[in-house]
Each structure stands twice: as C-alpha cells, then as structure tokens.
Amino acid sequence: MSALALPAMGLATRATQGLPALFPDLASRSPSAEVSLLESTGYAVPGKGAARYISDALCDAALLAGHQRFVFQAENGRIFRLLPEAGSFAVEQGGAAGDGAVNDQPAIQAAIDYAHAVGASEVRFEAHLYRLHCTPRLSPAEDKRAEDGHPLVVRASIALRGCAAERTVLDFRALDGGNPESDYQLVATSGSDPTLAVWRGGGLLLQGDVSDPGAGSRSIGRLELDRLVLQGNRQHTGAYEWPADAQTGDGWDITDKALWLQDCFAGEIVCRDTDMIGWKGEIFFTAGEADAVERIELKRCRFATSNGSALNPGVDAEILAVDCSFGDCFQAQEDVAKNRAIYRNCTWHDCDAMGLGSGSANGVYYAQAYPTRDETIAPPLTLLENCEFRDIRSLRFASWVRGSIRTIDCGISLNGGEALALRDTDLAIESWLDRKTGIHAMEFYGVDSLTEPVPGAPAGIYKLPPSNVRIRIAHHRTRFAQEQGHQWLGCFWTGYIDRSCELHVAGASAGGGVPHGGATPASMPRVTYAASEPTSNFWPRGWYKLPPVSGPGELLPCAPLMTVEMTSGIIADMTLARTPLGGADHGYVDGQRIRFVKDGATGAIRFVKGASNSFGVRETRVLDNAYDWIEFSYNRDWQRWEEEAFFSDA
C-alpha cells in the first residue's frame, strides 16, 4: 500500500463513522471530534423512529444514565442525544411500536421524561393506536405524590399531540395488560389499621409544584393534549359508592382518573379534539388550593362513561369549554365554584346529577356552597351559550349563572337550601319533554327559615333567601311525547325567596298546572305565565286551585292564575293578602298580575268596593257563575291589589 493511500483510507473511515444507521448501531461508532451530528435510519427497524443525534453541552453522564432510549455513548466515549426538531420529537424515536399489541408505556413515559430533561416542548404520536399497561403500585393507595402505579406522569410543560390521520388512541390497560374492569390491583393503605384498596391508577398524573412558585413560574406552565383519545376500557355500571369494592372492583374508584391533578400547582391545561372515555373515577379532575390551576381550555372534547364524574374542575381556574360533551356517568359535572367559566355549544347528558355555579372558591367560606365575591372586581360568572342538558335526573344551578340553555327530559332545581345564598342567576330555558312524563321543568326552593345557620359559620350567619334570580322557561313536547301523552308538571316555588326574583313561564304545560307557590307560600317572586292568553270564557285547566271557600275571608295569592270554588250557596265577601306569609321583603312585587276564576256555579264571591284597604275595585264585583273572573295588579306603594279587568256573564 502506498503512502498516498493512507490519507484516503482515513477519510473513508471517518465518512463511514458518520453514515446513518439504526439507533442501537450508533453506539458502535467512533465519530471524530469534528463530527457533532449523527443520523439514524430508525430506532429498531429502518424507517420507524429515524432521528438526528447531537453531541452538545447537555450530553453528560447523568443524561445518558437517565434516558437511554434517547441518549447513547459512542465507542470513543462521546455522548450523543436525540435532537428535537423545533422542540418536537416522536415516541417512535424512543422505541414505541404504535401497533396496539406491544406495551408502549415505557417508551411513552421515557419520551415525556426526556422532553422534560432537554426542554422539548412537544411529544408526537405518529400512529393511531398505542397500548399502555398500568405499572405496579407499591406505595400506599392514598399517597398522592407517589408516582408508581400511574401509567403516565407529567412534571413540566409539554404538548402531547396525535399526528396520525385519525386521532391517536392511548389504550390504557391493567397491570400486565389485563382487563382494567376486573384485573385491578389491591394496594395496602397506610395507618395503624391498614386495609386493601382497589387500585387502577388512571391515565395521566400531573405532578405540579407542591408549593406555589407563582403564576408564570410553575413547572407545568402549560399542558396541551391534542387529537388524542384516552381510552380507559372501564364500564359505567351504575355503582356509585366509593371507594370501590375490594371484592368486586365495582363502584366509584377514586384511584382511576383519566387526568389527575391534586394538591399541587399548574398553569394552563388545554385539551383540543381530545376524548377521555371509559374510567371508574372522575375523568377530568383538578383539586387543591383555589388557585392550583390558572386556566382550563377544552375544545371539541368528550368526557364520558364512568361511575364517577365526567368533569370535576374543583379549583378556581378560569374555564373555556367549546363544542364539548360530558356524560354517561354519575355526575356529568361536579364543581365547587368559579370566578369565570364560559361554556359554548356544550352538552351534559345521561347522568344521575350535576350542578353548576359561580363564586369564589378562594378558601372555604363557611361551606363550599356559600358563594362569595370580591366586590372590587367584576362579579363571578358561569356563562352558558347555546348549551344542552339531556336526561339528567337532578340538574342544579346556583349563583352567578346566566345564559341560554335547552333541556331534554330534565327537571331544573334552584335550591337556596343547598346554595346557601343563591343570587344573581339569569337563565333562558327551552325545556323539552320527550321520553319522560310527570316531571317539573323548574323547582325553585327558597330557604325554610330566616334563621337557619350556615354549616360551620360563626354564630349569627344564616342561609339567605335567593335573590336577583331571573328565569324564563318555555315548555315544549316533542311529537313522540305528545303521541305518548307525556305531560309536564307545573313549575313551583317554596320557602323564603326574595321579591327581587322573577319566574316567567310559557309553553305547552297543559295538564301540568301553572307556576305556583302552594296553598300557603312564604313568598311570591314576580311570576308570569304565558301558556296562552286567557279569554272571557277560558277553561282554567291546570290553573292553581285554591282551598275551597265556605264563607267570608281572605284569599292568599299564590299563583298568577287561580281558581276559587265555593262550598256553600252564600255570597262570600273576600279580601286579599297584602303580603305573602314571609312579609313584604318576599313579595308581592309592583305590577304583579293575578287572575281568579270561579270554579263551579255554587255560591258567589264578592269584592266590595271600599270594604278593605287590601284591594281596590272600580265597583263592587261579584263572581257568580262558573268561569267568571277578575284580574288584579299589585301596587307596592300602597300594598294594595288594584282591579285590572273583570268578566261575568251574570
């Protein structure tokens, strides 16, 4: 060999050292000092997981020891690491198969860990289906900071993004790939008397900062989930007891949350085109200090199928949810309070119960349900824009909720006894009856007493009557409901309600009755009923029937439209109550209109001009024949009912 051939051979050797190869083969190279970048043709097979690797200041022994799926050491001792492209890399570059058969949990968790280590912003999923097995849980079941037993853990800002033609499915299985419905783990609890608890481990655990470093400085400043399906493979069995039964595994498994953040701090959580389906506990769960999460954004997401709650953002995060659905579970949404939450074109469906309300959750003020606000800033807000609630047994709204909604086979409850100080709620409601019958479209509960203590409050702090609540509700029945003879029951209110509240009712509630407060209401908010315009010969089907009258006395207005029946043939002189039983603060409101219709031909009811300061008539009026009627409006300045119209065919 000539001397001229030696340099050529050296150049050829160096060129060979820089040629692309499979990831495991790169470690057998000895790249020279001037070579800082190597390429792979794939991770384990050519064409799958190809990447570029760089040797830079981050390449040290610690990085090599902790991330061997993404970092290697060459034959000559140099360390190279995977180089993200614009901050992004794929789980296939860490060995994920993406075939739905191999357990990709180790590769996916390794990708997340490596992204955290090198500051990469995005981990991509390039296939349609990935299988993930739960990891063994050895720590006590109630240890919220322990990471073992959780399939995936996120500790810093990251975007997890599906990049396949279809959304990427993360298929979560039990330990060793078993059926998570039946192959759960039994884990010891801590304490002096440990027991065994069901452990399924959920899907994605967020390990934020234990102490708050302040907004803008949190380790998980932003978590983004995009074009993913977190598939839990659990069933909604209707067993809502918790914790889950250790013998059967059934019930509300509080260890099984699709997205889980508790007792730590994070910034934004953003989910777009992401579904979370089939879990045993809360599907989307945040809990802890009021400001534990700054903001939650959900767009085109579906959270469904659980023995727990679909959406439980139990901290005072700002929420924006658009084109989302939550349901097929125990509670479609479980919430405490919010300063600002906006829902547009969202649906809550097929559940036992749910509730929405606003108000500060910045600490527990006597009780979680007691609404509070900082009066130096804008009032709290839960805004519902074109939202739907379908087939929910108990649908509850509390304070600072407003907007326009549609209900199907739902009865709405406004409950001052539960909300403790219900206020500033304004809703326009289109209520549809379809497969159910005999339900109330609206139940409005005040408080039972003006001196009922708020649980946990100092002495003298009482539940407050609902105030500044305005509801406009229209009854409808589908063609199917009409064919089946399904009927609404009338809206009603009860207890002490402030006179600032309004209830406006319209629509097809024939047979179900007008809105009313019962025979002896403590209050009467402003109430109107526009199912149809009553005429001079209007059959009062469904009007509120007052207790029969046998002689002179006082009528207590309790509905906008009432019928009065005489039990004797005498002429009974009547007066009208000037306030409800609860006093002037709880009704009647200025301009309230009421109409009395005589039910039957027996006897007569007379309002004598000048006989009482509780009412005023143009001349003495007698309801003599069946269907005679008189209408009054209330003059609050005089606390007097004044005649508006009268009809008699006598």
Distance (Å, whole) CA 382 – CA 425: 9
Tokens found for residue 608: 């004598």
For residue 6, what pLDDT is reported? 43
Assess contact for 304 and 330: CB atoms under 8 A: no
Residues 6+ apart with CB under 8 A from 569: 602, 603
For residue 536, what pLDDT is reported? 61
Residues 6+ apart with CB under 8 A from 208: 155, 218, 219, 220, 261, 264, 265, 266, 292
For residue 554, what pLDDT is reported? 97
Residue 520 phi, psi (nearest 5): -135, 70
Tokens found for residue 200: 């399924």
Residue 137 phi, psi (nearest 5): -105, 115
Assess contact for 284 and 269: CB atoms under 8 A: no
Residue 416's SS3 state is helix
For residue 40, what pLDDT is reported? 97
Which helix (H) or strand (E) segment holds residue 505: the answer is strand 502-507
> What rounded mean pLDDT belongs to the chain?
92
For residue 108, what pLDDT is reported? 98
pLDDT tens for 587-626 read: 999 999 999 999 999 999 999 999 999 999 999 999 999 9
For residue 368, what pLDDT is reported? 60
Distance (Å, whole) CA 533 – CA 609: 27
Fill in the amino acid letter for 561.
L
CA nearest to 497, candidates 473, 475, 516: 516
CA nearest to 270, candidates 226, 332, 317: 226
DSSP secondary structure letter of residue 399 = T
Is 584 or 371 the better-scoring residue by pLDDT?
584
Distance (Å, whole) CA 340 – CA 360: 9
Residue with tokens 């918790």: 242
Q: What mean pLDDT do residues 403-423 have?
A: 94
Residue 61 phi, psi (nearest 5): -65, -35
Q: What mean pLDDT do residues 153-162 have?
A: 98
Tokens found for residue 419: 């909300």
**Does residue 440 carry a pLDDT above 60?**
yes
For residue 377, what pLDDT is reported? 86
* CA 373 to chain CA mean position, Å: 21
Assess contact for 280 and 253: CB atoms under 8 A: yes
> Percent of the chain, pLDDT > 70?
93
Distance (Å, whole) CA 99 – CA 131: 8
Q: From residue 624, give the alpha-carbon distance in Å to each of 549, 594, 627.
A: 14, 19, 9
pLDDT tens for 97-140 read: 999 999 999 999 999 999 999 999 999 999 999 999 999 999 99
The dihedral over CA atoms of 288, 290, 294, 296, expressed in degrees to the nearest 10, equals 70
pLDDT tens for 373-384 read: 888 888 999 999
pLDDT tens for 181-200 read: 999 999 999 877 789 999 99
Distance (Å, whole) CA 465 – CA 424: 12
Highest mean pLDDT range out of 29-33, 361-365, 572-576?
A: 572-576
pLDDT confidence bin for 253, thresholds 50/70/90: very high
**Does residue 539 carry a pLDDT above 80?**
no
* End-to-end CA, the chain: 134
Cis peptide before 521 (omega within 30 of 0): no
Distance (Å, whole) CA 257 – CA 539: 56
Residue with tokens 């853990």: 153
For residue 9, what pLDDT is reported? 44
Which helix (H) or strand (E) segment holds residue 311: the answer is strand 309-313
Distance (Å, whole) CA 106 – CA 584: 69
Strand 168-173 and strand 228-231: pairing?
Answer: parallel
**Does residue 11 carry a pLDDT above 50?**
no
pLDDT tens for 295-344 read: 999 999 999 999 999 999 988 899 999 999 999 999 999 986 788 999 99
Domain map (residue ranges) of the chain: 17-82, 128-334, 362-532, 544-647
Distance (Å, whole) CA 350 – CA 305: 10
Q: From residue 91, give the alpha-carbon distance in Å to each of 72, 134, 151.
A: 17, 18, 15
Q: From residue 503, give the alpha-carbon distance in Å to each of 429, 499, 514, 637.
A: 11, 11, 11, 22
pLDDT tens for 513-538 read: 899 999 999 999 999 998 766 666 56
| Neighbour-count burial of 209, counting CB atoms closer than 10 A to its CB (0-12 exposed, 13-18 middle, 19+ buried) | middle
Q: From residue 119, give the alpha-carbon distance in Å to each of 55, 200, 213, 266, 267.
A: 16, 30, 19, 17, 17
Which helix (H) or strand (E) segment holds residue 9: the answer is helix 5-17
What string of DSSP letters covers 238-269? Answer: S---SSPPTTT--S--TT--SEEEESSBEEEE
Assess contact for 223 and 206: CB atoms under 8 A: yes
Distance (Å, whole) CA 428 – CA 474: 8
Tokens found for residue 507: 């629509």
Tokens found for residue 34: 């001037």
**Does residue 567 carry a pLDDT above 90?**
yes
DSSP secondary structure letter of residue 237 = -
Assess contact for 512 and 480: CB atoms under 8 A: no
**Residues facing 615 on adjacent strands:** 641
For residue 365, what pLDDT is reported? 58
CA nearest to 140, candidates 185, 190, 186, 175: 190
Strand 185-188 and strand 196-199: pairing?
Answer: antiparallel
For residue 375, what pLDDT is reported? 84
Tokens found for residue 234: 């659990």
3-state helix, strand, coil split of the chain in percent (to 5) is 10, 40, 50
**Does residue 50 carry a pLDDT above 50?**
yes
For residue 10, what pLDDT is reported? 46
Residue 585 phi, psi (nearest 5): -65, -15
What string of DSSP letters covers 156-212? Answer: S-EEEEE-SSSPEEEEEE-GGG--TTT--EEEE--SSS--EEEE---SEEE--BSS-
**Does residue 543 carry a pLDDT above 60?**
yes
Q: What mean pLDDT do residues 35-52 have?
A: 95
Assess contact for 535 and 503: CB atoms under 8 A: no
**Does residue 164 carry a pLDDT above 50?**
yes
